[in-house]
């Protein structure tokens, strides 16, 4: 049995040229702004953390968890990345993850990449950090609750924008696609909230200084980098236990009758997280996941170093 993760993101064919163009432009502008702002806000200790966060989110997105009605969901991670790294660096991490998924693993369309980055990386980071920032005023008593709500809302916002794009592309009527997408992702958002709160609580327990960008403490970076890398690898090894049910968008596309519009990517590198030369499908997926976390972690780390270098 093939336990490779299902396609998780908007494929080519669902959105028309106008919608694709608008969201490519919006994504390029916001990512450019994120690079510019990160030059002013990124500190030295956050650079390796960008790599570890990218590796963890990539690996966690490979694990689909079951929700109601034979549907599965997966972590988006934008809220988590923004809460830990700040909104601008969080957006860059999410851009690295989603971009690699499309280019190397054909997860999401190449033409739809701008929309996917906008929906899952930029909006989720903005909402996640925006609500988290209120915890500074409310104190620790409500912190975890607000983080959970922020993560849940980030998933709903992502689904809202995806629904709008599908509607504006005349792929499905608004009165059908909005309720279908928002209802299934309301359930998926619960899983997002639980994972985000658990990850934040773990980091706050073992390295609370990483949550304080004003504290430049970095004397023991090697230890937590190693732990973070091992956790990311450990998550990849759980992929054989992931749900094989269609994810939220795929289920909605099947139920509403537009799944046939999905177009196969012209690339075929490690499509569907499978390494063709490895015959065992589970081992192939695990190896693809390990390769992915190494590459995306390295990209995010090097991006952080480049940004820091240009700011000095």
Reduced to 3 DSSP states, what percent helix, strand and coil does the chain have, rounded to the nearest 5?
A: 70, 5, 25
Average pLDDT over residues 270-277: 88
**pLDDT, tens digit, 9 for 90 and up, residues 235-269:** 999 888 888 888 889 999 999 999 999 998 888 88
Q: Which residue has the tokens 């689904």?
A: 159
Cα–Cα distance measured from residue 162 to residue 44, given in angstroms and rounded to the nearest whole number: 35
pLDDT, tens only, 53-103: 999 999 999 999 998 778 888 899 999 999 999 999 999 999 999 999 999
Nearest to 160, CA basis, from 132, 131, 189: 189
pLDDT at 230: 86
Q: Encode pLDDT of 218-229 as tens digits.
A: 445 677 678 888
Place of tokens 């650079």: 47
What's the pLDDT at 214? 46
From residue 132, alpha-carbon distances to 46, 160, 202, 297 in Å are 18, 21, 17, 25
Q: In the 8-state DSSP scheme, what is residue 139?
A: -
Residue 266 pLDDT: 84
Pairwise CA distance, residues 293 & 53, whole Å: 10
Q: Which of 37, 58, 53 is nearest to 101 (CA)?
A: 58
Cβ–Cβ < 8 Å for 243, 87: no
Threshold 0.75, pTM exceeds: yes
> Which whole number is the average pLDDT over 145-169?
95
Instruction: Round to whole Å and give the CA distance between 38 and 147.
Output: 22
Residue 161's pLDDT band, with cuts at 50, 70 and 90, is very high
Fold for 17-311, please state it: Arp2/3 complex 21 kDa subunit ARPC3 (1.10.1760)
3 state SS of 67? strand
| Nearest-angstrom CA–CA distance, 110 and 11 | 8
Residue 46, pLDDT above cutoff 90: no
SS3 assignment, position 95: helix
Query: In whole angstroms, what is the distance from residue 80 CA to residue 125 CA?
Result: 8
Residue with tokens 């046939």: 260
Decide: helix, strand or coil at residue 263.
Answer: strand
pLDDT bin (cut points 50, 70, 90) of residue 193 is very high
């Amino acid at each position: 049995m093939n336990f490779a993760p299902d396609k998780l993101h908007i494929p080519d064919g669902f959105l028309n040229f106008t919608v694709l163009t608008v969201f490519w432009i919006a994504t390029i502008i916001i990512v450019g702004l994120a690079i510019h702002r990160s030059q002013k806000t990124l500190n030295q200790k956050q650079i390796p953390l960008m790599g570890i966060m990218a590796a963890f989110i990539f690996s966690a997105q490979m694990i689909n968890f079951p929700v109601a009605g034979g549907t599965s969901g997966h972590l988006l991670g934008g809220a988590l990345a923004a809460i830990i790294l700040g909104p601008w660096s969080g957006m860059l991490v999410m851009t690295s993850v989603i971009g690699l998924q499309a280019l190397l693993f054909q997860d999401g369309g190449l033409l739809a990449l701008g929309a996917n980055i906008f929906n899952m990386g930029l909006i989720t980071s903005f909402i996640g950090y925006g609500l988290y920032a209120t915890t500074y005023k409310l104190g620790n008593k409500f912190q975890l609750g607000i983080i959970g709500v922020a993560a849940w809302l980030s998933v709903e916002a992502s689904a809202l924008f995806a629904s709008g794009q599908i509607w504006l592309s005349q792929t499905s009527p608004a009165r059908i696609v909005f309720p279908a997408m928002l209802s299934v992702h309301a359930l998926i958002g619960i899983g997002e909230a639980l994972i985000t709160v658990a990850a934040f609580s773990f980091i706050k327990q073992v390295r609370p200084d990483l949550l304080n960008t004003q504290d430049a403490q970095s004397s023991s970076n090697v230890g937590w980098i190693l732990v973070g890398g091992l956790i990311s690898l450990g998550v990849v090894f759980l992929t054989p236990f992931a749900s094989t049910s269609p994810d939220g968008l795929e289920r909605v596309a099947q139920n509403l009758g537009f799944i046939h519009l999905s177009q196969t990517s012209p690339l075929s590198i490690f499509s569907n997280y499978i390494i063709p030369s490895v015959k065992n499908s589970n081992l192939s997926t695990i190896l693809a996941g390990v390769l992915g976390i190494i590459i995306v972690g390295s990209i995010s780390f090097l991006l952080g170093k480049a940004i820091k270098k240009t700011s000095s």
